């Protein structure tokens, strides 16, 4: 029986999405067992699969509303539920109800972030994200756990940990523009330098991921916040759709 190439092409990006969800599921299992380093690595692996499914879909011309919804559900598992379990069992399990609330709030903000993205998918500019993407929030939690593995005393500062988690959760539902670099003129004009930077980052992750993951996510978040703070006029009304004809009653 001959294979239907079209069906195979449609199946391929959804396979990466399923692998993303599988990594999130395994990360939760590892968190239950107290294997926090392995849980962190599976969340990072989920982020890699998540970055591939959309690209594969565009390359094969198989973008679909089904794929978008499946991707969002997978993202909620891997970058919403899994990090919430990870931070709860690593830092908050002895904090009673406040710990449960903080972990749930992170998951809730991740769900709201995805729901808003899906609702505005045809209107958000591709060069900027509205709020911190949920994989970024998950990587921020992962980064803190990795730091606590190297420096166990970090886990003793529960109020600071809670503020850290709440900060990144709030960034996800904020309207702060975070660059996606998809249409960046600098990236287009410096492809060789960007490629070299990517290879350097990948190599450094293989060598010392416990340090590089926190460095990368912290650099991305705070450099974005500083850039927006010093260029407020440029981003004024970037996510304002009140005058969108489709939204008029």
- Give the pLDDT score at 30: 97
Helices (H), the chain: 5-33, 36-60, 65-76, 82-87, 96-119, 134-150, 158-173, 185-189, 191-229
Per-residue model confidence (pLDDT) at position 185: 65
Q: What is the pLDDT of residue 248?
A: 39
> How far is the C-alpha of 183 from the C-alpha of 78, rounded, in Å?
27
Q: With respect to residue 208, please indicate whether it lies within any of the assigned structural domains.
A: yes
Residue 44 falls inside a structural domain:
yes
Kindly state the tokens that stand for 186: 């600098």
C-alpha–C-alpha distance, residues 37 and 181, integer Å: 29
CATH number of the domain bearing residue 113: 1.20.120
240 located within any domain: no
Residue-number span of the structural domain to which 158 is assigned:
13-59+72-232
Q: DSSP characters for 12-29?
A: HHHHHHHHHHHHHHHHHH
Residue 169 lies in a domain: yes
**Would residue 239 count as lying in a domain?**
no
Task: Answer yes or no: is 83 within a domain.
Answer: yes
Provide the pLDDT for residue 8: 66
| CA proximity to 15, closest of 58, 53, 72, 66 | 53
Q: Which two tokens stand for residue 149?
A: 């593995």
* Number of domains present in the structure of the chain: 1
Q: What pLDDT does residue 82 have?
A: 97
* Overall pTM surpassing 0.85 (yes/no): yes
Provide the phi-psi class of 61: left if phi over 0, else alpha when psi is between -120 and 50, else beta: left
Specify if 245 maps to a domain: no
Residues of the chain with pLDDT under 50: 1-3, 245-249
> Could you tell me if residue 17 is inside a domain?
yes
């Amino acid at each position: 029986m001959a294979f239907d190439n079209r069906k195979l092409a449609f199946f391929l990006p959804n396979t990466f999405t399923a692998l993303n969800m599988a990594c999130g599921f395994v990360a939760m299992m590892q968190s239950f067992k107290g294997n926090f380093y392995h849980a962190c690595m599976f969340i990072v692996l989920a982020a890699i699969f998540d970055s591939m499914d959309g690209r594969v879909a565009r390359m094969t011309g198989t973008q679909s509303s089904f794929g978008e919804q499946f991707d969002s559900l997978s993202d909620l598992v891997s970058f919403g539920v899994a990090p919430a379990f990870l931070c709860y069992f690593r830092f908050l399990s002895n904090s009673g109800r406040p710990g449960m609330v903080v972990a749930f709030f992170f998951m809730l903000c991740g769900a709201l972030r995805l729901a808003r993205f899906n609702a505005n998918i045809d209107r958000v500019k591709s060069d900027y994200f509205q709020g911190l993407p949920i994989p970024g929030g998950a990587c921020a939690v992962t980064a803190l756990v990795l730091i606590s593995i190297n420096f166990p005393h970090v886990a003793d500062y529960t109020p600071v940990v809670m503020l850290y988690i709440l900060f990144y959760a709030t960034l996800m539902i904020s309207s702060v523009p975070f660059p996606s670099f998809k249409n960046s003129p600098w990236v287009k004009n410096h492809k060789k330098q960007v490629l070299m930077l990517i290879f350097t980052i990948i190599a450094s992750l293989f060598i010392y991921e416990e340090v590089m993951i926190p460095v990368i996510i912290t650099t991305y978040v705070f450099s974005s916040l500083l850039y927006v703070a010093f260029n407020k006029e440029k981003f004024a009304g970037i996510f304002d759709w009140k005058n969108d004809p489709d939204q008029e009653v």
